[in-house]
Structure 1
Amino acid sequence: MESSDLAYSPADDAGSKPYVYPRSPSSDDKERPTQLRFLVSNMAAGSIIGKGGATIAEFQSLTGARIQLSRNHEFFPGTSDRIIMVSGEFNEIIKALELILEKLMIEAEDNNDDDTRTKVRLIVPNSSCGAIIGKGGSTIKSFIEESQADIKISPQEQNYAGFNDRLVTVIGSLEEQKRAIFLILSKLAEDAHYPQNMSSPFPYNTGTNFPGFAAVPVGYMVPSMAYNAMNYVSNGIGGRHANTKGLGSARPTGTNDGQGSSMTFGVADEHIGAVVGRGGRNIMEITQISGARIKISDRGDFMTGTSDRKITITGSPEAIRTAEAMIMQRVSANSDR
């Protein structure tokens, strides 16, 4: 059995290799149509589409690949990221990926992001992860050595019920990412378990019902691990009891004053920066997507009996649930670093 949490890094003393594509799949596999999906933020999706769809149309014309994006509200489960699917013959997909990754790198530079080692998260079915890992991790280790990128496969036990896709995160420079993705797609193109054809980049159910809530986009399903990292006051709107351990005399804060319901919960001060984001980017995105109003307490204003800052979300039950899940996802991701 494979390990549920696999992460490998290139050797510290390994030098940078010139950008040369490694081995290719067989000619039959290169000519057979296939596909590759990966995640992008809503902002990045807009830059790839371009004004009036001009950029994505140009990329498709130049490469012969088909490029599809999930709709505005269709996010990969547990994230606020949309899905891009690139389909076509092997070489067409590689050419399209080069253009997309270069475009994203330019956007990052324009946003004054000086980190030259960025990450790309590929979506791979659990049944095909074994082909990437190899016996005893031999395949993925060879990919690391050849590409000089870091590769991490999300733990299988963190999958949501009914979902069989995992995230393969590739971290490195633009050239390192290109080499690593080339190797990964080469292996997937040869794998009998890999779905070579998909009609949509978003094959998941469009909504999930929670007791007391309207349908919520499945991308906002909340990882159970995140509940243990936060303190909650009972929200009074959905019948879900929050984790009040360590809160002392915490009381329900559900209200309905014509402005919608509200809930208040605590987040460790060290994670507030991840919730807010650089220049307030994350909190603005959460507010825009969820439709809720979000207030974070000032420094030093903590939940009773804790050192957690207070976050109050106001809006409809669906808006609150969506905003809460997005905040928890940010906290969970920050905790994993």
Structure 2
Amino acid sequence: MESSLVEGGLNVTLTIRLLMHGKEVGSIIGKKGESVKKMREESGARINISEGNCPERIITLAGPTTSIFKAFSMIIEKLEEDISNSMSNSTATSKPPVTMRLVVPASQCGSLIGKGGCKIKEIRESAGAQVQVAGDMLPNSTERAITVAGTPQSIIECVKQICVVMLESPPKGVTIPYRPKPSGSPVIFAGGQAYAVQGQHAIPQPDLTKLHQLAMQQSPFPIAHGNQCFQDLCVVSAGMDASAQTGSHELTIPNDLIGCIIGRQGAKINEIRQMSGAQIKIANPVEGSTDRQVTITGSHASISLAEYLINAR
């Protein structure tokens, strides 16, 4: 399977999501969209670019493997060309590597890293590129960024090997895709829906709505009718509920499952803290007890979301 994919002969449909800065995306789109039009025509891949009012944007490549990697190669070549052009106007002596960021479901990252990091080490060595898997999930999503840097050929080889792993280990559970948001825009929850505030407009945010609804379904708190936060409007900034009072909730988790919650070097529990905005403390093991006490502190919404994410683990 690996050799046929690397040679571009495996006739499967792939989807690759790339996270790029606005300036890079502008270069790929080209004047009046000429550059991206050429990429679509020559590769045969579907190339979709997320809306442009954000500092970062998602480029989605979809199609058969041969088309995908043709489009991917053209994008890499364009970025390499931009670096070369910037070097001609610079006093720098060493040429920086091309850097790409892939966005993948967090549930597939374990297979990509491998036991003790063996798989990602193998990919680094065979492809000759630098590969780094982010420890935390991207905001309001269940996806992580994978940064790949090197020569165009080493990046292409590296991404092919990443795709092999992802085809062999499909994502588990529901994936909430990362969608870049305008920087610094507050989020409100009204009528059970999430909205990002941009100027005088409120833009619906389906991913945040889904997270919020999941959290509310799992809520350990009775939602009182007089609670203004949930019945009417709930303002959230940087993952914390600014208008709700803080509280705490305790969970009991079996010792043999606590490792799943904490993750390697605390990576999983830190993800849950970041996504929910709640403080989470895990008590030390008590002699003779088969359970561990977990205390979650924060707003009602952040506690509910943290509990949902812990149960999902």
Q: TM-score, normalised by structure 2?
A: 0.52
Question: Given that residues 23 and 183 in structure 1 are in contact (C-alpha distance below 8 angstroms), is that contact kept between their aligned partners in structure 2?
Answer: no
1:58-95 deviations in Å (ceiling 9; x for gaps)? 1111111011111112x4xxxx3211111101121111
Is residue 72 from structure 1 mapped to residue 41 from structure 2 by the alignment? no
Shift of 1:202: 6.2
Alignment of 1:147-296 (within 5 A): 147-156=127-136, 159-160=138-139, 162-193=140-171, 208-209=186-187, 215-216=197-198
Shift of 1:210: 5.9
Shift of 1:194: 7.5
Corresponding residue for residue 45 of structure 1: 25
Name the % identity. 26
Partner SS, residue 37 of structure 2: helix
Partner SS, residue 215 of structure 1: strand
Alignment of 1:70-149 (within 5 A): 70-73=50-53, 75=54, 80-112=55-87, 114-149=94-129
Q: Quick one: distance in 2 between partners of 1:65 and 1:128?
A: 24
Structure 2 counterpart of 1:98, which letter? S
Corresponding residue for residue 59 of structure 1: 39
Q: Return closer, same or farther for 1:210/1:106 CA change in 2, 3 Å cut-off.
A: same
Shift of 1:204: 7.0
Q: Quick one: distance in 2 between partners of 1:71 and 1:37?
A: 14
Partner SS, residue 38 of structure 2: helix
Structure (1 or 2) with the greater helix fraction: 2
Shift of 1:135: 2.1
Shift of 1:53: 1.5
Q: TM-score, normalised by structure 1?
A: 0.49
- The gaps in structure 2 that reach 5 residues or longer are 190-194, 206-234, 238-313
Q: Quick one: distance in 1 between partners of 2:236 and 2:113?
A: 42
Structure 2 counterpart of 1:171, which letter? A
Shift of 1:151: 0.8
Structure 1 counterpart of 2:141, which letter? F
Structure 1 counterpart of 2:79, which letter? L
1:124-172 deviations in Å (ceiling 9; x for gaps)? 110111221122222111101111111111113x643x42111101121
Which of the pair has the greater relative contact order for Cα pairs under 8 Å at 6+ separation?
A: 1
Question: Given that residues 151 and 171 in structure 1 are in contact (C-alpha distance below 8 angstroms), is that contact kept between their aligned partners in structure 2?
Answer: yes
Question: Given that residues 143 and 180 in structure 1 are in contact (C-alpha distance below 8 angstroms), is that contact kept between their aligned partners in structure 2?
Answer: yes
Corresponding residue for residue 30 of structure 1: 10
Structure 1 counterpart of 2:85, which letter? D
